[in-house]
Structure 1
Amino acid sequence: MLNPEVAPGPFTDLDKFVFESWGYLLIPSVLTADEAAECYEASRRLHADRDRAFGQIGRGYETEPCLEKLIDHPAVLPKVRGLFGDRFILQASWNTMQPAHGGVGGWHQDGSSAYDFKQLSYPVPLIQLRASFLLTDQTNPGTGNMELIPGSHRSQVPLPAEIRSERGDVPIGHVICAPIGSVLLFHNGVWHRTYRHDGDQDRYTAHYVYSPPWVRAADRFDNNDEFLDNTTPMRHALMGAFERPDAPYGASYEPLPF
């Protein structure tokens, strides 16, 4: 199956061309099976007190060390840096669960319903760059895969309303089939949905959303001081805990400590 696969680490000129063309990249097998299994168990703990239904929980990195390590994973962070430069933040981290035998999700673009990113300019600007760590094997369709529409971040027209309301199929939908531990990196403007899940094992995915430093965090109103005191300098900086956040984030705002 055709996938926009790229190597882990440095953001190459070819990576940029593929991302600009399709709106997403796939980095296969970033985590080992054991690392993915550890993150899967951490995800189960996060969701233990909620109903077994599709949903997401934020800030898992504060209590689960294996999820904290993914914030600045060396296979992924250079790609984020290549697209945003040296100044960006972790805008949110969401851990999502799709129960076994779950149906397809609704088509959408990422962003804020309070003010859609498409209102800012055309094409839809890159405001949220999502890195999704697959914690289950998804080498076949029907395993809780992500389905995206390649290049749709540049479409001048929205996905038809009737398709969205009926959760209908589209002829150019691309179901991502990838092994456990792979990472899908995609632009907020790409139309996407959760594909159906026919298997018997609940599907968990760890998402990390990166944004310019002036974007308000979505998974927290404030940072956890204890977490900031105990994490690494890079992760501390990625939390956007600025001592003096000047309005333009100008001279007083330090780049990330690469």
Structure 2
Amino acid sequence: MNAQEWYLFDLQGYLVLENVLTAAQLDALNAELDRQIAAVSAPVNAPVNAPVNAPDRTWFRWDGLLPWGPPFQALIDLPPLMPYLKILLGEGFRLDHDYTHVIRQGSGPIGTRLHGGGTPYDPCQYYHVHNGRMYNGLTAVAYELRDVRPGEGGFACIPGSHKSNAPFPDEWRDLENPPACMQPVAVSAGSAILFTEALTHGTLPWRGQGERRTLFYKYSPRSNAWARSLYNPDEFPSLTEAQRRLLLSPGVYPY
């Protein structure tokens, strides 16, 4: 993280990191998502006897992507992201949980409500700076597998809200009618949005022609846990030792 990026993250609460995934990685990740979508047998908002992949299935969500194999396991410690996460979370940070959203139309699994913010203080999702060092709670990496063009929807936030000293006005939370201070973030396929969960953020209704495909890998400082469920590194024997350390349960010692 260079000085300009440090400044922008402190100012905004997020960074866009371009081209962190290769074309080969995008192909492999999208191919597996294609397989998972095709295997779904109970479309949401569709009749019980509707065919698989019915057109009125507007979104998909899967939690826990590591069993899907090496392309997803490689994102545990993707090299372009590791230096940033070390600065944001300190030594020994851990992967807290992961999931994916595929949104075809309208609102996705979490709806269109803005959430998060610097106030009230959340001991699992926070941001502050002390003696020139950043301290973050839960921190997200959102990998976009398809282009998100201006006006199509997707990730949006209130820049700077991770440092707000006042609660976010509840009447501004509905992204169907977003406030003027909200900023949408358009990114190209293969890019990542890196943000603190203390940032007020959400998902605009999807209006793109294709699908919005986003992988979320969320990290915590080594002593914290946001998710109740924990990883068992022994379930994934092909992981490297560095990847296994990132799946450790929360704690300070031993490290």
TM-score, structure 1 normalization: 0.78
Q: Does 1:16 align with 2:6?
A: yes
User: 5+ unaligned residues in a row in structure 2: which ranges?
Assistant: 44-56, 129-135
1:158 is paired with a residue whose SS is coil
- Residues of 1 paired with 2:191 and 2:185: CA distance? 10
Aligned equivalent of 2:116 = 109
- Could you say if the C-alpha distance between residues 236 and 105 of structure 1 is closer, same or farther in structure 2, counting changes exceeding 3 Å? same
Aligned equivalent of 1:87 = 92
Q: Does 1:179 align with 2:188?
A: yes
Q: Does 1:240 align with 2:248?
A: yes
| Counterpart amino acid of residue 210 in structure 1 | Y
- Residues of 2 paired with 1:166 and 1:193: CA distance? 8
Residues 216-252 of structure 1: per-residue CA shift (max 9 Å, x gap): 362734425231x22111110000158xx5xxx24xx
213-222 or 133-142, which deviates more: 213-222
- Residues of 2 paired with 1:97 and 1:105: CA distance? 15
Is the 2:176–2:205 Cα contact (8 Å) retained in structure 1? no
Select 2:149's aligned residue among 139, 142, 145: 139
- Residues of 1 paired with 2:178 and 2:248: CA distance? 39
Is the 1:134–1:205 Cα contact (8 Å) retained in structure 2? yes
Q: Does 1:62 align with 2:67?
A: yes
- Residues of 2 paired with 1:215 and 1:122: CA distance? 10
Shift of 1:102: 4.4
Is the 1:91–1:219 Cα contact (8 Å) retained in structure 2? no
Q: Does 1:45 align with 2:35?
A: yes
Aligned equivalent of 2:239 = 231
- Residues of 1 paired with 2:30 and 2:243: CA distance? 21
CA RMSD of aligned residues (A): 2.8
- Residues of 1 paired with 2:117 and 2:67: CA distance? 24
Is the 1:129–1:209 Cα contact (8 Å) retained in structure 2? yes
Aligned equivalent of 2:16 = 26
Shift of 1:187: 0.8
1:118 is paired with a residue whose SS is coil
92-101 or 44-53, which deviates more: 44-53
| Counterpart amino acid of residue 89 in structure 2 | F
- Residues of 2 paired with 1:120 and 1:216: CA distance? 10
TM-score, structure 2 normalization: 0.79
Is the 1:89–1:237 Cα contact (8 Å) retained in structure 2? yes
Is the 1:98–1:203 Cα contact (8 Å) retained in structure 2? yes
Shift of 1:94: 1.4
1:56 is paired with a residue whose SS is strand
- Residues of 2 paired with 1:88 and 1:121: CA distance? 13
